[in-house]
A and B are shown apart, each in its own frame.
Chain A
Amino acid sequence: MLGTRTNTDLVEAAARGDQDGWDEIVQRYLPLVFSVIRRYRLSSKDAEDVSQTVWLRLVEHLDAIREPRALPMWIATTTRNEALRLVTAHRRTTPVDPLNTSALDAEVDSAALDEELLRAERQQAIRDGLAELSPRHRELLLLLVVDPPLSYEEIGARLGMPVGSIGPTRARCLARLRGSSAVQVFLSAGRDMDVTGGERLDFSTVG
């Protein structure tokens, strides 16, 4: 279900009038919108208003997105601008809180936005890659990352798997995840993404 359609497919579908394409864009990038908003410490009502404004604007902006890979950048930038506008408006109507400089810091730090964007893309690729795995492999990986962590004995008991085979299976699952088309697409795109900056080298060394 996840990760089969690229941004290009989704933007084209949504611009054509396909609600499913739009819904998938929303599912895919709402976490990005909220991770950008989170930096501005807005109230949950304000956060919802920002989110709604971003999506309403995107509806009217779909035709203007000529390079669909620019979609997450457009979403992140619009979210930041709208959140900043609210923060600025609040600052004008309330006395300055000397302890709350986070918004000002964020204003000057556009590198932070690039990083956020890259992380969101990477995490989306990993989630999509996970969805490509077999249910059994996916289940093992999910058990390996639960918090608090489970012992291999507990994981083995849950999956009906000998404890000795968990280590080798774990390595195989991670290799599959790495080789999933979602992760591979992300890695190949990462090479010429301007925002990756210093990370470009890391990506291009992946064999």
Chain B
Amino acid sequence: MSRGVSDLTSARWDDDDALLTELRAALDVPAVPEHVVAAAKAAYTWRTIDEELAFAVLVYDSSLDDSALVRGEGPRTLLFEGDQLSVEIEVTEQSVIGQLIPPGPGRITLTNPAGPVAETDADEVGCFVLPRPGRGAVRLICRCGEDALCTPWLPL
């Protein structure tokens, strides 16, 4: 690959041989499996997500925390913040354990790009446990009274 880079950056557009070399490289695109192409196209169906859902922002992810105390210890924890409602989760090997903030009962849905994979109630203090799904991107949709929150996609 490094050979290709130096060839290409020095390539001149007015040189026929160089242009043919560029063409050869341009046609040598990484092979992307058909189901990956299909999945990427299908992602677009999420364009029409419920309008009433507020999007939460990921404000903390222990897997990105470089402080020595956190590094390599314990399950991954994440905090998603919305305007009215926030949610903190811990991803263990078997489960997704979480709590709504402010604490209170609600309905929690875990969904992957194809649709909901698990659903549960949050108790009076907003705590919930969901089975951890297999690999791939998931998101939580939390409904608590009038408020509804949708986390960004999170690859597990």
Interface-forming stretch among B15-23, B78-86, B96-104, B115-123?
B15-23
Residues of A close to B63: CB separation below 8 A? 85, 88-89, 92
Residues of A close to B32: CB separation below 8 A? 30-31, 34, 51
| Chain A CB within 8 A of B3 CB | no
- Bound: A202/B13 CA distance, A: 8
Residues of B close to A48: CB separation below 8 A? 33, 36, 39
Residues of A close to B22: CB separation below 8 A? 122-123, 126
Residues of A close to B155: CB separation below 8 A? 49-50, 52-53, 82, 86
Q: Provided the pairs A130-B23, A170-B16, A178-B13 are in contact, do residues A52 and B40 lie with their beta carbons within 8 angstroms?
A: yes
Interface size (B, Cβ < 8 Å)? Answer: 44
- Bound: A171/B20 CA distance, A: 10
**In the complex, chain A residues 16-67 whose Cβ is within 8 Å of any chain B Cβ:** 17, 19, 22-23, 26-27, 30-31, 34-35, 38, 45, 48-53, 55-60, 62
- 9 residue pairs of the A-B complex, CB under 8 angstroms, read A17-B48, A48-B33, A52-B36, A52-B136, A92-B63, A122-B8, A145-B20, A183-B13, A202-B12
Q: Which residues of A contact B (CB under 8 A)?
A: 14, 17, 19, 22-23, 26-27, 30-31, 34-35, 38, 45, 48-53, 55-60, 62, 82, 85-86, 88-89, 92-93, 115, 119, 122-124, 126-127, 130, 141-142, 144-145, 147, 170-171, 174, 177-178, 183, 187, 198-199, 202-203, 206-207
